[in-house]
Amino acid sequence: MNFGKDGKRIRPDGNGTAKPKDGFRTGKSKDGFRFTDSFGTVDLTNKEDKEEHYGEISHNEEARVKNAQRRFHARMTESEKEEATKWIAYYRYMVGEADKE
């Protein structure tokens, strides 16, 4: 967040028009309400469009998390990997997640 000399928050465009520079837009068009982000434009009145859009975001987030876990695992030493495996097993046992997988 950016703040001016008086301590008030400065909007992303810097002039108070509230038009974001990050590419996210929501507004009413002649077809209905639309939302645009890096995954495309979604008609907010269409349930199937929203579900498809959510599925794309969810899939990308899951892939991002898995890749981060793989990179982290690759940096671990053998003893760290063993400790992590024990900790995960104890945690799952304690919260009852061992049966679910």
Express each pLDDT in 36-67 by its tens digit: 888 888 888 888 988 998 999 999 999 999 99
pTM confidence score: 0.52
More confident residue, 86 or 28: 86
Neighbours of 79 (CB within 10 A): 8
The C-alpha angle with vertex 39 and arms to 38 and 40, in degrees rounded to 5, equals 95
Residue 37 belongs to what H/E stretch?
A: strand 32-37
8 Å CB contact between 41 and 27: no
Token pair 């945690």: residue = 91
Which among 24, 58, 61 is positioned nearest to 34, based on CA atoms? Answer: 24
